Amino acid sequence: MKISETGKLGEEKVCGYLTGQGYRIIQRNFRIKGGEIDIIAENGFYIAFVEVKTRRPDSAVTGFEAVTKRKKGLIIRAAAEYCIRHPNEFQPRFDIAQVIADNGVILRIDYIENAFDTTGYNFIF
């Protein structure tokens, strides 16, 4: 399975997971110059900006480790722009979903709510 297909499968499964948790998917693959957010979802209280990392079980780097400080900054920048373009009253939150997949089969989803925040970054919501 190609990497992009695997990533897309992971995102699909995370959308299903979030929907099952009572979230509404607002947008997928929101892009600006210099940043992208895989999934944007809300649950009536929070607007969750979700980074999805799909990995094989034997991957040397976990999906959580793959979200570096630089990547977090790009996500925060994109989230700030999203909030400017689409004002809302929800509390923003940055989540990370790690999807473990092998040959197109999802083995598990590990999900961290509020995985990081804007501390140390010069972005304002």
Q: What is the pTM of this model?
A: 0.92
Q: What is the pLDDT along the chain (125 residues), one digit of tens a residue?
A: 445 787 889 999 999 999 999 999 999 999 999 889 999 999 999 999 999 999 999 999 999 999 999 999 999 999 999 999 999 999 999 999 999 999 889 999 999 999 999 888 775 55
Which domains does the chain possess? 3-116 (3.40.1350.10)
Which DSSP string do the residues of the chain spell out, in sequence order? --HHHHHHHHHHHHHHHHHHTT-EEEEEEEEETTEEEEEEEE-SSEEEEEEEEEE-TT-SS-TTTTS-HHHHHHHHHHHHHHHHHS---SEEEEEEEEEEEETTEEEEEEEEEEEE-STTS----
